[in-house]
Amino acid sequence: MARRVLLIEDEPNIIEAISFILSRDGWTVHIHEDGETALDKVRASLPDMVILDVMLPGKSGFDILRELRADPEMAELPVMMLTARGQTKDRDLAERLGVSHFMTKPFSNAEVLDHVRALAGPTGP
């Protein structure tokens, strides 16, 4: 069974690129573009991991990460954050909130795939 990733991102070019990379690698990619309802989408889709943009309409990725980590059922869910703002304060905040990996845009396709595979862990026997 294909592993599932939930991509919470509102930039069409990023959505298309990441969806293509991961689908080609055998992932099932679900897309969500609104920060306000992102937590409900995570709960409903139960992904193997989340790729989360920092700047989203409705609610920031930092707020969503904070809520994920506060929920015992999702506290250990791997979350890779993406941002166009690669400032140290953003990275530090993400790490304090419990991000699994923090990546700045632009990124290489290989870099995304490597980190998704590493965060998701082994695929089984």
Distance CA 65, CA 54 (A): 9
88 within a domain of the structure (yes/no): yes
Asked if residue 125 belongs to a domain, the reply is: no
pLDDT of 24: 96
Q: What is the pLDDT of residue 125?
A: 39
Domain coverage including residue 94 = 4-120
In the chain, the percentage of residues whose pLDDT exceeds 70 is 95
CATH number, domain containing residue 70: 3.40.50.2300
In tens, the pLDDT along 52-78 reads 999 999 999 999 999 999 999 999 999
The three-state secondary structure class of 76 is coil
Cis, bond preceding 106 (omega within 30 deg of 0): yes
Per-residue pLDDT tens digits for 85-95: 778 899 999 99
3-state secondary structure of 49: strand
pLDDT at 1 over 70: no
DSSP state for residue 100 in the 8-state scheme: S
Q: Which residues contact 106 (CB under 8 A, 6 or more apart)?
A: none
- Candidates 40, 56, 57, 48; CA nearest to 100 is 48
What are 96-99's contacts with CB under 8 Å, separation 24+? 97/62, 97/65, 97/66, 97/69, 98/65, 98/69, 99/65
The HSE-up count of residue 92 (CA atoms within 13 Å, CB side) is 3
**Given this model, what pLDDT does residue 60 score?**
96
The pTM of the full predicted model, rounded to 2 decimals, is: 0.94
* SS3 category, 24: helix
Let me know if residue 65 belongs to a domain. yes
Number of domains in the chain: 1
**pLDDT computed for residue 124 by the predictor:** 45
In this prediction, residue 123 has a pLDDT band, given cuts at 50, 70 and 90, of low
Average pLDDT over residues 22-27: 96
